[in-house]
Amino acid sequence: MPTGAFAKERRPSEDGASMIAATLEEDIVLGLLAPRVRLVEDDLMERFAAKRHVVRDALAQLESAGLLERRRNIGSMVKAFSRDEVIHLYEMRELLELEAMRRIALPLDRDALEQLRRIQAGHDAAIQQQDPRGIFRTNQEFHRLLFAQCGNVFLSQSIEDFARQTHAIRFGTLMSRERQLQSQQEHHELLAVLAQGEGSRERLIRLTAEHLVPPRDHYLKTQEALLP
């Protein structure tokens, strides 16, 4: 079985600040906190019943992950990207993710494939139940396990790090029913290809590249008037 086939989810430790950061990260990717929205410490303290130093620690975690930016006399706000930054970030994601797909053994290890199918069943259920946070979490779990199959832990971690940076770019797409169903179909197509042999390599690479396009283009379109 390839190294990292059962890699654990790389979430923060289960302390108060980390749990607040994880919730706000989901808020960003779901479009509940859009680019340029300011995060007010007092509001967060009330929402999470947390002390100021805990909220500040959570904001620092999100800033370190590239999801927030701090501006003088304004404070923390959801990061907004220029057109070039969006394009360059997605170029990096494509380079890394396609390289991972070139390294994955085909057909995929049976145990890893079954685990991916179980995760996708949870993703299907979340879509059926219209559970946006469940959709986000199972989507993350699916891709984390998929890229772990490349056998290079540094590559799979880099993929996750760059994907996290684009959470503020992906905002709102998970709330689109059309995009939910499109992503679901693409996941099932990936699973079908992963079960096949080496002759399906190019299709696997193509599907991975196409999976990246809709969130990028959605951000560029919806933020067109504001992008420098």
Give residue for tokens 């999801």: 67
Estimate to the nearest angstrom the gap between the alpha carbon of 4 and the chain centroid: 19
Q: What pTM was estimated for this model as a whole?
A: 0.83
Torsion angle of alpha carbons 211, 87, 10, 110, nearest 10°?
30
Q: What is the pLDDT of residues 139-181, one digit of tens each?
A: 999 999 999 999 999 999 999 999 998 888 876 677 788 889 9
Give residue for tokens 């992503």: 183
Give residue for tokens 């085909």: 106
pLDDT reported for residue 227: 58
**Three-state helix/strand/coil letters over the chain:** CCCCCCCCCCCCCCCHHHHHHHHHHHHHHCCCCCCCCEECHHHHHHHHCCCHHHHHHHHHHHHHCCCEEEECCCEEEECCCCHHHHHHHHHHHHHHHHHHHHHCCCCCCHHHHHHHHHHHHHHHHHHHCCCHHHHHHHHHHHHHHHHHCCCCHHHHHHHHHHHHHCCCCCCCHHHCHHHHHHHHHHHHHHHHHHCCCHHHHHHHHHHHHHHHHHHHHHHHHHCCCCCC
Q: What is the pLDDT of residues 37-62, one digit of tens each?
A: 999 999 999 999 999 999 999 999 99
pLDDT reported for residue 228: 57
Q: What is the pLDDT of residues 1-37, one digit of tens each?
A: 333 343 333 344 447 999 999 999 999 988 889 888 9
pLDDT reported for residue 219: 83
